[in-house]
Amino acid sequence: MLTSRLERTNKYSKRIVIYQGDIMTKKIAIIIAPKGFQDIEFGTPYKYFKDNGAIVDVYSTIRGLAVGSLGSTYKVSDSLSELHVQGYDAIIFIGGPGTPIVRNDNHSETIVKEAIKHGKVLGAICWSPTILAKAGLLKGKNATVWDGMDEEFGMLTSEYLEMSGANYTGQNVTVDDNIITANGPAAAQAYAEAVWKKIS
């Protein structure tokens, strides 16, 4: 209603309102595993972004009901193949025991490389920083990760990051340019805040 009134009285005011709306409304894509995503790492940023007025879309390797490692569920409407990076301000990955499912989907590598190419904010928490490492994006970067055994790689996740050229910090949250990494559910709020700060 306010926009309509401004349109009648002042076409320039209307344009300003629309422009302000565009720069205030952020779009964030959150990527979760179809099974075994970490519930807190997903729920905390999701709520934080929505509470701050962002448009949040959730993607996974397949459509359907995604189930978290702690039992929460989320109905995913879009698969990774449908994610258009340029339509978002930030792309963030959620960790949990289902991370290898996402990591082994070829679309994940395409998405993270496109995100960097187009200057988007790229986030990964818990186990998911290994997705960025696998794509070669952490070479020469400061990064953190949940430090545990990765059976697929046969080494600790921190060792895999270092083998991939990253400087493993061991911090709860590490920001290096547009790449934000975090180490687990206890860092979920700080992770969300770091992403939001970057795109605001």
Task: Tell me how far the alpha carbon of residue 134 is from its chain's centroid.
Answer: 16
Within-domain flag for 112: yes
Going by their DSSP bridges, the two strands 27-31 and 90-93 should be labelled as parallel
* pLDDT attached to residue 2: 32
Q: Which residue has the higher pLDDT, 159 or 19?
A: 159
pLDDT-above-70 percentage for the chain: 88
Q: Is residue 6, in this structure, part of any structural domain at all?
A: no
pLDDT reading at 14 higher than 70:
no
- Which amino acid is residue 192, in one-letter code? A
Asked if 188 and 40 touch (Cβ cutoff 8 Å), the reply is yes
Residue 70 has pLDDT above 80, yes or no: yes
167 part of a folded domain: yes
What CATH number did the domain enclosing 91 receive?
3.40.50.880
Establish if 89 belongs to a structural domain.
Answer: yes
* 159 domain residue, yes or no: yes
Q: What's the pLDDT at 22?
A: 46
Q: Is the pLDDT of residue 4 over 50?
A: no
| In the predicted structure, residue 11 carries a pLDDT above the cut 50 | no
Among 16-25, 81-90, 103-112, 142-151, the range scoring the smallest mean pLDDT is: 16-25
Q: What is the pLDDT of residue 52?
A: 96
Read off the pLDDT of each residue in 86-102 and give the average, rounded to a whole number.
98
- For the chain, the domain total comes to 1
The answer, yes or no, to whether residue 83 has pLDDT greater than 50, is yes
Domain of residue 75, residue span: 26-199
Lowest-pLDDT range, 19-23, 37-41, 82-86, 118-122? 19-23
**What pLDDT is stored for residue 23 in this prediction?**
53
**pLDDT greater than 70 at residue 20:** no
pTM (two decimals)? 0.89
Pairing type for strands 149-150 and 167-168 reads unpaired
Q: Specify if 111 maps to a domain.
A: yes
Residue 95 has pLDDT above 50, yes or no: yes
The per-residue DSSP string of 49-87 comes to HHHTT-EEEEEESSSEEEEETTS-EEEE-EEGGG--GGG
Q: Over the chain, what is the mean pLDDT?
A: 90
